């Protein structure tokens, strides 16, 4: 089945450590996205990539970094500069601008 795989489902880190969240898709979609979701809130865009080797900042990019070396993969690094990293992180992809985003099942990151 085609889809988006995010791993791990739960991740725990100590404050001051960088952590990388994995996102892989086999939908052959060009565009990929990272969103952050906090309790009781909607989704906020962190980074997005329309094509391999290119990506743009979203609304809340500070403290995060991404890479897009392969079409299938769009890992997100949460750096120690991110002040409130504990959240539910969602990766998504889309075929083109006018197609709905398909989401993975998220990674819940807890930083203590």
Applying CB under 8 A, the residues found at the interface with another protein are: 4, 6, 31, 33, 40-45, 48, 50, 58, 90, 92, 94, 96-106, 108
Q: Are strands 107-111 and 10-13 parallel, antiparallel or unpaired?
A: parallel
Strand order in the sheet with 76-78: 4-7, 19-25, 76-78, 64-66
User: Nearer to another protein by C-beta: 85 or 106?
Assistant: 106
Complex with another protein: residue 82 or 94, whichever CB lies closer:
94
Min. distance of Cβ 91 from another protein in angstroms?
8
Please, which residue, 17 or 62, has the CB nearer to another protein? 62
Nearer to another protein, 10 or 84 (CB): 10
Location of structure tokens 């990929």: 32
What does the DSSP assignment read for 22-37?
Answer: EEEE-S--SEEEEEEE
Least spacing, CB of residue 16 vs another protein, in Å = 27
Q: Minimal distance in Å, beta carbon 92 to another protein?
A: 8
Q: How far is the CB of 96 from another protein (least distance, A)?
A: 8
Question: b/e per residue, 32-66, with b = 16+ CB within 10 A?
Answer: bbbbbeeeeeebebbbbbeeeeebeebeebeebbb
């Amino acid at each position: 089945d085609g889809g988006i795989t995010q791993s791990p489902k739960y991740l725990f880190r100590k404050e001051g450590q960088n952590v990388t969240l994995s996102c892989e898709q086999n939908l052959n979609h060009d565009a990929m996205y990272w969103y952050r979701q906090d309790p009781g809130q909607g989704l906020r865009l962190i980074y997005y990539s329309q094509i391999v080797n290119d990506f743009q900042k979203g609304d809340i990019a500070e403290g995060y970094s991404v890479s897009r070396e392969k079409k299938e993969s769009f890992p997100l690094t949460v750096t120690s500069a991110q002040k409130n990293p504990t959240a539910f992180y969602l990766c998504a992809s889309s075929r083109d601008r006018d197609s709905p985003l398909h989401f993975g099942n998220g990674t819940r990151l807890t930083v203590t």
